[in-house]
Amino acid sequence: MENEEKQLLGTEEKNEGTVTEPVEKTEKEDIRTFTQEEVNAMLTKERKKMPSKEELQAFKEWQETQKTLEQKQAEKETEFQNALSKNAELEEENKVLKAGVNIDDVDYVVFKVAKMEGDFEENLQSFLKENPKYLKQENIENNNQNTDINLGGNHENKTQITKEEFNKMSYPARLKLYNENKTLYDQLVKN
């Protein structure tokens, strides 16, 4: 009964020394069975196509060296980019310190100026003009001592300054006027 079922299903099995390929039997196809010797011959033929253990080991070692070189290159690139950004950051801090900013305010000023569009140095100068509170007090005093009020004429001993002259004044000159004659400064600002 079991053989009849196998014949109905179209499969056949041989147990001793042979391997069968179960294939549905049709009228046009035959079942192909292989002996153990044929299977061994096919496997040997396929193994010859594959690399030897030594070749495979050499390939794996080469792969590791390549991977390591790629990783080293990536690490060096990352280090280089970090060094460039650190260098740029230190240059900006140096410029801010040279501009006379309080040491406690350097990080904040660098942050604010770096967010501005355009040249860092130009932005720094305009930021410090708008926010003199970040400058060192002694730096402001030094600027006042070293910078005379230059109005483009002979106005050094004048106590009265016109609005036009005031508008032409530099920031340190205005600061000096503010420190020396606050009421005149307030009058010129209001007008």
Mean per-residue pLDDT, 45-61: 88
Question: Kind and range of the H or E element at 130?
Answer: helix 120-130
The per-residue DSSP string of 140-186 comes to HHHHHHH-----SSS-TT-S---HHHHHH--HHHHHHHHHH-HHHHH
Higher pLDDT, 191 or 121: 121
pLDDT tens-digit readout, 82-116: 999 999 999 999 999 988 898 889 999 999 999 99
pLDDT tens-digit readout, 146-185: 444 444 444 444 557 888 888 888 888 888 888 888 888 8
Distance separating alpha carbons of residues 61 and 51, to the nearest angstrom: 14
pTM metric for this prediction:
0.38
Which residues touch 39 (CB under 8 Å, ≥6 apart)? 19
99 CB neighbour count, 10 Å cutoff: 19
Secondary structure (3-state) at 45? helix
pLDDT tens-digit readout, 6-35: 444 444 444 445 555 555 555 566 788 999
pLDDT of res. 53 = 87
pLDDT of res. 111 = 93
pLDDT of res. 110 = 92
pLDDT of res. 179 = 86
Q: Is 124 exposed, middle or buried (0-12, 13-18, 19+ CB in 10 A)?
A: buried
In 3D, which of 120, 173, 124 has the Cα closest to residue 146? 173
Identify the weakest region by mean pLDDT among 4-8, 48-52, 76-80.
Answer: 4-8
Which residue is associated with the tokens 């100068």? 125
**Band of residue 42 on the pLDDT scale cut at 50, 70, 90:** very high
